[in-house]
Structure 1
Amino acid sequence: MRKWGLSTHAVILMLLLVLVGCSQRSGGGDDNAKPSGSPAEPSGTATATPADSGSASTSTPDAGSGEKVRLTVYSTIGELKNQEMMKSIGAAFTQENPNITVEFQFPGAEYENILKVKMAANDLPDVFDTHGWAVIRYGNYLADLRDESWAPNLTDTIKPVVTDKSGKVEALVLSEAKDGISYNAELLAQYGIQPPATFEELMAAADKIKTDSKGQVTPFFMSGIDNGMIGGFLDLYATSMYISPQQNQADALLDGSFDWNNWTPLAAKLLDMQKKGYINKDALTAKYTDMPKRFAQGKIAFVFGAPSFADDVYKVNPNAKIGIMPLTTMVDGDTPTFSGGERYTMGAWKDGKHLEASKKLIAFFAKPENMSTIANATKLPPGLKDIASQHEFSPYYDQFKDVRVFPYFDRVYLPNGMWDVMCKTGTSLVSGQTTPAQFSEKMKQEYVRLRKQA
Structure 2
Amino acid sequence: MKKATWLVSIGALTMLAACGGGNGENEESSGGNGNGESADGGNSDADTTLVLYSSMTAEGERNTFEELIAEFEEANPEIAIEANFPGGSYEDQLRVMMAADDMPDLFDTHGWSQLRYGNYVRDLSEMEWVDSLDPELEEVVTDEEGKVYTYPMNQAQDGVIYNADVLDQFGIEPPTNWDDFKAALETVRDESGGQIAPLWIPGGDDWTIAQMEDQLLTPLFETHPDHDYTDEFEDGSFDWSNYEWMAEEIVYLEENDLLNQDVLTAQFAQAPEIMAGEQAAFMFLVGSIGPDTVEINPDANIGLIPTPAIHEGDDPSWIGGERNTLSIAEESENAEEAEQFIEFMTEDENARRIAEATNVNASLEGVDPDTFYSDYYEEFSDVSVVPYFDRVYLPSGMWDVMATSSAELLSTQDIQAKIDTMESEFNRLREETDEEGEVGEIDEEDVENVEDNE
Q: Normalization by structure 2: what TM-score?
A: 0.80
Q: Which residue of 2 aligns with 1:256?
A: 236
Q: SS state of the match for residue 150, structure 1?
A: helix
Letter in 2 for 1:131: H
Deviation at 1:156, TM superposition (A): 3.1
In structure 2, the CA distance between the partners of 1:110 and 1:206, relative to structure 1 (3 Å rule), is: closer
Cα deviations by residue, 1:399-440 (Å, 9 ceiling, x for unpaired): 334422222222322223322322222223223x24323321
Q: SS state of the match for residue 143, structure 1?
A: coil
CA separation in 1, counterparts of 2:287 and 2:106?
Answer: 27
Q: SS state of the match for residue 402, structure 2?
A: helix
Deviation at 1:80, TM superposition (A): 4.1
CA contact (8 A) 2:27 2:40 kept: no
CA contact (8 A) 2:287 2:360 kept: no
In structure 2, the CA distance between the partners of 1:98 and 1:233, relative to structure 1 (3 Å rule), is: closer
Aligned partner (choices 208, 213, 225) of residue 246 of structure 1: 225
CA separation in 1, counterparts of 2:386 and 2:398?
Answer: 18
In structure 2, the CA distance between the partners of 1:148 and 1:270, relative to structure 1 (3 Å rule), is: same
CA contact (8 A) 2:251 2:413 kept: no
Letter in 1 for 2:327: G
CA separation in 2, counterparts of 1:285 and 1:70?
Answer: 39
CA separation in 1, counterparts of 2:66 and 2:205?
Answer: 29
Letter in 1 for 2:193: K
Q: Which residue of 2 aligns with 1:327?
A: 307
Letter in 2 for 1:227: D
Larger mean Cα displacement after TM superposition, 68-77 or 329-338: 68-77
In structure 2, the CA distance between the partners of 1:451 and 1:293, relative to structure 1 (3 Å rule), is: same
Q: SS state of the match for residue 367, structure 2?
A: coil
Deviation at 1:236, TM superposition (A): 1.2
Q: Which residue of 2 aligns with 1:26?
A: none
Aligned partner (choices 383, 397, 405) of residue 425 of structure 1: 405
In structure 2, the CA distance between the partners of 1:291 and 1:81, relative to structure 1 (3 Å rule), is: closer
Aligned partner (choices 134, 140, 153) of residue 161 of structure 1: 140
Relative contact order (C-alpha < 8 Å, sep 6+): which is higher?
A: 2
Verify: 1:308 aligned to 2:288, yes or no.
yes
Q: SS state of the match for residue 157, structure 1?
A: helix
In structure 2, the CA distance between the partners of 1:426 and 1:123, relative to structure 1 (3 Å rule), is: closer
Deviation at 1:256, TM superposition (A): 0.6
In structure 2, the CA distance between the partners of 1:293 and 1:253, relative to structure 1 (3 Å rule), is: same
Q: Which residue of 2 aligns with 1:54?
A: none
Verify: 1:115 aligned to 2:94, yes or no.
yes
In structure 2, the CA distance between the partners of 1:286 and 1:358, relative to structure 1 (3 Å rule), is: closer
CA separation in 2, counterparts of 1:34 and 1:143?
Answer: 18
Q: Which residue of 2 aligns with 1:185?
A: 164
Aligned partner (choices 259, 280, 283) of residue 279 of structure 1: 259
Q: Which residue of 1 aligns with 2:40?
A: 47
Letter in 2 for 1:163: T
Q: Which residue of 2 aligns with 1:9?
A: none
Letter in 1 for 2:162: Y
Q: SS state of the match for residue 341, structure 1?
A: strand
CA separation in 2, counterparts of 1:188 and 1:156?
Answer: 36
Deviation at 1:210, TM superposition (A): 2.2
Larger mean Cα displacement after TM superposition, 291-300 or 175-184: 291-300
Structure 2 unaligned regions, length at least 5: 1-22, 30-37, 434-454
Cα deviations by residue, 1:68-114 (Å, 9 ceiling, x for unpaired): 33322222223444334223323333444343333322233332233
Q: Which residue of 1 aligns with 2:421?
A: 442
CA separation in 1, counterparts of 2:24 and 2:173?
Answer: 61
Deviation at 1:216, TM superposition (A): 2.7
Q: CA RMSD in A?
A: 2.7
Verify: 1:72 aligned to 2:57, yes or no.
no
Letter in 2 for 1:257: S
Number of equivalenced pairs: 399
CA separation in 2, counterparts of 1:347 and 1:167?
Answer: 16
Aligned partner (choices 133, 136, 142) of residue 112 of structure 2: 133
In structure 2, the CA distance between the partners of 1:246 and 1:34, relative to structure 1 (3 Å rule), is: closer
Aligned partner (choices 361, 364, 367) of residue 344 of structure 2: 364
In structure 2, the CA distance between the partners of 1:108 and 1:283, relative to structure 1 (3 Å rule), is: closer
CA separation in 1, counterparts of 2:327 and 2:187?
Answer: 47
Deviation at 1:396, TM superposition (A): 1.8
CA contact (8 A) 1:265 1:436 kept: no
Verify: 1:416 aligned to 2:399, yes or no.
no
Q: Normalization by structure 1: what TM-score?
A: 0.80
CA separation in 1, counterparts of 2:276 and 2:317?
Answer: 26
Deviation at 1:183, TM superposition (A): 0.5
Verify: 1:170 aligned to 2:170, yes or no.
no
Cα deviations by residue, 1:282-314 (Å, 9 ceiling, x for unpaired): 323433344433322222110013143235423
Deviation at 1:315, TM superposition (A): 4.7
In structure 2, the CA distance between the partners of 1:316 and 1:87, relative to structure 1 (3 Å rule), is: closer
Deviation at 1:328, TM superposition (A): 0.5
For the pair shown, the structure with the greater C-alpha radius of gyration is 1
Q: Which residue of 1 aligns with 2:12?
A: none
CA separation in 2, counterparts of 1:345 and 1:184?
Answer: 30
Verify: 1:392 aligned to 2:372, yes or no.
yes
Deviation at 1:370, TM superposition (A): 0.4
CA separation in 1, counterparts of 2:429 and 2:246?
Answer: 22
CA contact (8 A) 2:176 2:309 kept: yes
Q: SS state of the match for residue 323, structure 2?
A: strand
In structure 2, the CA distance between the partners of 1:320 and 1:284, relative to structure 1 (3 Å rule), is: same
Verify: 1:381 aligned to 2:361, yes or no.
yes
Deviation at 1:329, TM superposition (A): 0.4
CA separation in 2, counterparts of 1:98 and 1:288?
Answer: 37
